[in-house]
Amino acid sequence: MASSDQIRLLLVEDVPQVAQYIRSLLNSQAHIKLLDVLNDGSKAAAAAQQLRPDVMLVDALLQGRIKGPALVEQLQRERVGVPVIMLTVPQNPVQADPERGIEAVLSMPFSGYDLMNKVTAVHQAYKAAGGVGGSRVVSVFAPKGGVGKTTIAFNLAVAMGQQGHRTVLIDASLQFGDMRSLLKVPVDAPSILDLPTDRIQESDLQDVLWRDPSGIDILLAPPRVEMAEMVTVRDVDKVLSLLRRVYEVIVLDLPAPLSDINLAFLDASDTILEIVTYDSTTIHNTIAVADAFRSIGYPAAKVRYLVNRADSAGGISPDDLARALGRVPEHSVMSDGMLVVQSNNEGLPFVLANPQAGVSQDVMRMASELMNVGLVPAGARR
Dump pLDDT digits (tens) for 118-139.
999 998 888 766 544 457 899 9
How far apart CA 28 and CA 24 sit, in angstroms, is 7
pLDDT given at position 201:
62
**What CA dihedral angle connects 220, 223, 226 and 229, to 10 degrees?**
-20
pLDDT higher than 80, residue 329: yes
pTM of the entire predicted model: 0.68
What's the pLDDT score for residue 199? 59
Q: 5 vs 70, which has greater pLDDT?
A: 70
Q: What is the pLDDT of residue 6?
A: 73
Mean confidence (pLDDT) of the chain: 87
The proportion of the chain whose per-residue pLDDT surpasses 90, expressed as a percent, equals 47
The whole-number pLDDT of residue 46 equals 85
Output phi, psi for 139, to 5 deg: -95, 120
Please state, in angstroms and as integers, the Cα–Cα distance from residue 363 to each residue in 28, 235, 367, following that order. 46, 31, 6
The model's pLDDT over 158-185, given as tens digits with 9 standing for 90+, comes to 999 999 999 999 999 998 888 988 998 8
Nearest Cα neighbor of 241 from 105, 346, 362, 379 is 379
Give pLDDT tens digits for 197-255: 655 666 677 788 999 999 999 999 998 889 888 888 888 887 887 788 788 899 999 99
Contacts by residues 102-106 (CB-CB < 8 Å, ≥ 24 positions apart):
102/72, 106/57
Q: What is the pLDDT of residue 203?
A: 67
Give per-residue burial for 133-166: e unless 16+ CB within 10 Å, then b: bebbbbbbbbbbeebbbbbbbbbbbbbbbbeebe
Domains of the chain by start residue, with CATH: 3-128 (3.40.50.2300), 136-372 (3.40.50.300)
